[in-house]
Amino acid sequence: MSERIVFLDRDTIAPHINLKSPSFEHDWVVYERTRPDQVAERLIGATVAITNKAPIREDALQQLPDLRMISIAATGSDVIDLEACNKRGVIVSNVQGYAVNTVPEHTFALILALRRSLIGYVEDVRRGEWQKAAQFCFFNHPISDLNGARLGIFGGGAIGSAVARIAAAFGMEPVYTARKGTTPKNADYRSFEEVIETADVLTLHCPLTPDTRSMIGLDEFRRMKDSAIIVNTARGGLIDETALCTAIEDNMIAGAGVDVVSAEPPAGDHPYYALAGRPNFILTPHVGWASTEAMQAVADQVIDNIENFVKGSPSNRIAG
C-alpha cells in the first residue's frame, strides 16, 4: 500500500534544511503553509500528515477516514486534538531532544546582550557617540558580569538543566524554582517567591499550562530586584505581556529578552513594539530553536517517526 504524506506547513522549517525522502513507496504533497480552514480539505485521502503549527482538530479528523498517523514537526502538541486522535486510533508522534543546545545558547545570547548592554552600545556607535566621547570609551549604559549572579530557572527539564550547566561555567549560581504556590520538594529547588525576589537573572523554560499561564505578572515584577533581567524563550503566555511593558517603562526591572509572544506573529499594535527602541529590551522572532543543527534534527525525526510507524513500531508516540 502506498502512503500519501501531506506536509501542511513546510515553510516552518528553513528552506536550506534537507527533508529526506521516506524509504517506502509513497506520494508526497507539500504546502508552504495552511490556514486552519484549509486543513481538512488538504488532508483528504492522506494517510500521514506532517504539521508544525497547522491545527488538526476533531472537526477535521471527522472528515479524514484515511488518516492513520500525524508526525508533528515540533515537541509541543497543542495544535493536535489528542483525545480525538485516541478515539480514532490515529497515531501522533512528536520530535524530542532537538533543542537542548540551540535554546540554551539563544537564552545566553539574550542574557549576555542585556547584562552587557550590547544593543545600546552598538546603536550608540552607529549614531556617532564614540566620536563625541573624545576618549577611548564611554559609559552610556550599565555593564554587569555574570560571575557571581544568581540565575533563577523556571523549569528543570532538559533545556533548563542545559541552561544551568552554561550558567555554572560562567560562575553564576543557578537555582531552580518550584511552581508558583507550591513547596519545593527537591534540594536544588527554591520557592517561587524566593527566586522572584533574589534572582539577578530569571529565565523561563517551562510548558504553558493553565497553572503557568501569566505566572509572571505585575505583582511578580514589583517584587523583583530593580537590577534584574528576565528572559523568555519558552512560551509567550507565561508572562503577562502588558505587565512586562509596564515593568520596563517604570524601571521595575533592568531589562527583558523575549523570543516568544502569546500570538505569533504579533499584531502590529502589540505592546512589545512600543519597547522596540529601548536598549534594554530585545525581541527576537521565535528563533531560539532554529539553529541549522536543531532544524535538521527536527526534519530527520519527522521522517524517522513516519518510517517507524510504517514499520509497525511507532516512535515518540504521544497519542493513538
Determine the pLDDT at residue 186: 80
Q: Are residues 145 and 167 in the same domain?
A: yes
Rounded mean pLDDT of 85-109? 97
Q: Are residues 119 and 56 in the same domain?
A: no
At residue 4, does pLDDT exceed 80?
Answer: yes
Mean pLDDT of the chain: 95
Determine the pLDDT at residue 8: 98
- CA dihedral sign of residues 269, 270, 275, 277: negative
- pLDDT band (50, 70, 90) for residue 76: confident
Determine the pLDDT at residue 253: 98
Q: Are residues 72 and 131 in the same domain?
A: no
Q: Are residues 56 and 180 in the same domain?
A: no
Q: Are residues 84 and 111 in the same domain?
A: no
Backbone angles phi, psi at 4, to 5 degrees: -105, 110
CA–CA separation, 259 and 238 (whole Å) = 12
pLDDT in tens, 145-164: 999 999 999 998 999 999 99
Q: Are residues 67 and 190 in the same domain?
A: no
Rounded mean pLDDT of 248-272? 96
Q: Are residues 137 and 75 in the same domain?
A: no
Q: Are residues 120 and 263 in the same domain?
A: yes
Catalytic residue numbers, as ranges = 235, 264, 286
Residue 37 belongs to domain spanning: 3-98+292-319
Q: Are residues 83 and 159 in the same domain?
A: no
Determine the pLDDT at residue 179: 80
Cell numbers of 168, please? Answer: 555554572
CATH classification of the domain holding 8:
3.40.50.720
Backbone angles phi, psi at 256, to 5 degrees: -150, 145
Order of strands across the sheet with 3-7? 26-30, 3-7, 48-51, 69-72, 91-93, 317-319
Q: Are residues 158 and 34 in the same domain?
A: no
Per the structure, how many domains does the chain have?
A: 2
Determine the pLDDT at residue 286: 96
- pLDDT band (50, 70, 90) for residue 180: confident
Q: Has this prediction a pTM greater than 0.85?
A: yes
208 vs 107: which has the higher pLDDT: 107
Q: Are residues 74 and 139 in the same domain?
A: no
Q: Are residues 169 and 216 in the same domain?
A: yes
- Exposed e or buried b for every residue in 258-279, given b needs 16+ CB within 10 A? bbbbbeeebeeebebeebeeeb
- pLDDT band (50, 70, 90) for residue 122: very high
